[in-house]
Structures are given as structure tokens and as C-alpha cells.
A and B are shown apart, each in its own frame.
Chain A
Amino acid sequence: MENPYQPINPNSGPSSLGDDVFQKGVHSNGLEASSVAQASLYSSKGWVRFVSVLGFICFAIMIIMIFAMMSFVGAMGGGAVILVFLLMLALTVVIFMLALRLSKYASSIGRMEVSRDPADLENAMIEQMKFWRIAGIMVLIGLVITILALLVPSAFI
């Protein structure tokens, strides 16, 4: 019986871990991350970490703003303020998730740099895919809101 939790041996070829998780039928065909590809990945680590730290700072600022708004909502009340509060809360959660994904991506690259384990490359690629998926969904929502903001007022004029 195969142990699914066994560590991946770099020399044993493609891993069987979660083969069917991402795109069935993908074969690496002896694909290798050359020294240039690795060097590029390692050099991106610092910048990814920097952007993730900025994301966490942004998250902290948003939290402070939410607390300030909570006291404002308590004093004033009103549906519009609550709506803005909920939107800010959702945005704060998304910012945190994006920053967390980037942080995990940078950590995976860092681990790969030390261990040179294909499993860490796998983790790095998965983390960056998750980051881009969240970013893509947010960008789509932003685009829809922008188009609505452009079209809806003109319909009333």
C-alpha cells in the first residue's frame, strides 16, 4: 500500500502527490527547473515578501479604520454606513488572504532554496496559483463595479 504522506525523493521523478488535483493529464515530460529558472525564482522571493508585508500593513490599517467606523456606526447608525462597513470588512479579509498567500509563496521559495526539494517547488507554484486566483476574482469584481459606476449614473441623466 502506498503511503501518500511520504516525502518526495528528488531523484524518483514526478511525484504522485495530488496528480489529479490540478489539471488531469498534465505530464512534465522530464521538465526541469534549470539554474537560471531557480535563480529567477530565488531573486523574486525578496520582492514577493516585501509586497506581502505591505499587504499585512494595509490589512492593519484597514482594521484600525474598521474599528474607527464601528464607533461611528454606533454613534450615527444608518444603512449606508453599515453597507460601507461590510464592504470594508470584506476587502480587509481579501487583503489578508492575498498577503498570506504571498507570504506562503515567499516561504516556499525560501525552503526550496535550502532543500532543493521538488515538493517545495510544488508548494510555491500552488501558493502562487491560489494568489492569482483570488486576485483574478477580485479584479473581475472591481471591473464589474467600475463598469456599473460608469453606466448607471449615465442612465439617469
Chain B
Amino acid sequence: MMEQQVNPYEAGQAHQQAYVDSSLSIPVTPVALGALMGTKFWVSLVGVVMLIMGAINVLSMLFADDSTPFGGVLVAFIIPFIIVVIQVVLAVRLVQYGTAIGRLKSGGTSQDFERAMVAQTQFWKLLGIMCIVMISLMIVTWIVMIFAVRAVF
């Protein structure tokens, strides 16, 4: 009987073993898979619409009146620009999530499921960080406006 020789130091195999430990895996039921596939359309839609909204925001910024009053540059240009960048990055993440679900739909391997989960985690993490940034920006804007009003009166 021939003994099968396995090279334990082979790069690809070691990588695969580290990733797929069947004892730790949880079966993905058809209901869970169906729900995830049902998410694809909505996730892609939200992503695409966010990209369109981002483009509309950029256009409105380009055609905006540039005669802004004191302290208006921050409120009229810098903050909207940051919001647009955030919007586009989030939209790209969502489209990536939708694409990952699409691959799962056509291929359907455990690694595709893994990719979809990683993509959605990146989206939520980014959204959480963006929320913190937005709240911080809001507080900064309030402080700037308070100081601007005090400077005028």
C-alpha cells in the first residue's frame, strides 16, 4: 500500500488548515443562506444609491455660492466634503458586501461566506467609526459657531 506523502510546510495547505477548522465551524442552514441572499439586492441598492447621492452632493458643492461669510468655509465646504468622502467609502464597502453575497450565490463555498462576513464586518466597523467622527464634527461645529457668534456680537 502506497503511503501518501504530505508536505506539512507547504504554504497553501498550512494557510488552509489555519482557516478551516471543521470542529469550530457552524453549518449554514438553507434558511440562513436564503436570508443572506435576500440581503444582496437591498445592500447593493443602498450602496449604489449612496454613490449617486455622493455624486449629487459633489455637484451641489461645485455649483454652490462661494461667497461664504466668516467661518462659513468650514460649514459650507470642508464638512460636506468629509461627509461625501465618508458616504463614498461606506457605499464602496456595501457594494463589496453585495458582490461577496453574489459570489456566494453563484459559487457557494464556505470561503465565499467567509468573505461576505468579513465585508459586512468592515462595513459596520467603518460605519461605527464614521458615527464617532460625525458626532465629533458636530460638536466642533457647534463650538466654532458659538465662538463665531460671540466674535460678531
Interface residues of A (CB under 8 A from B): 8, 10, 13-15, 17-19, 21-23, 26-38, 40-41, 43-44, 46-48, 50-51, 54, 112, 116-119, 121-122, 124-126, 128-129, 132-133, 135-136, 139-140, 142-143, 146, 150
Contact of A28 (CB < 8 Å), options: B28, B43, B114 = B28
Q: Which residues of A contact B26 (CB under 8 A)?
A: 10, 32-33, 38, 112, 116-118, 121
**Distance between Cα atoms of A143 and B51 in the complex (Å):** 11
* Contact of A36 with B118 in the complex, beta carbons under 8 Å: yes
Interface size on B, residues (CB 8 A): 45
Residue B12 at the A interface, CB < 8 A?
Answer: no
Residue B30 at the A interface, CB < 8 A?
Answer: yes
**Distance between Cα atoms of A33 and B87 in the complex (Å):** 30
* Contact of B22 with A32 in the complex, beta carbons under 8 Å: yes
Of A35, A41, A48, A119, most B-chain CB atoms within 10 Å: A35
* Contact of B35 with A50 in the complex, beta carbons under 8 Å: no
Main secondary structure of the interface of B (DSSP, over half): helix
**Distance between Cα atoms of A142 and B46 in the complex (Å):** 11
Interface residues of B (CB under 8 A from A): 19-22, 24-39, 41-43, 45-46, 49-50, 52-53, 56, 108-111, 113-114, 117-118, 120-121, 124-125, 127-128, 131
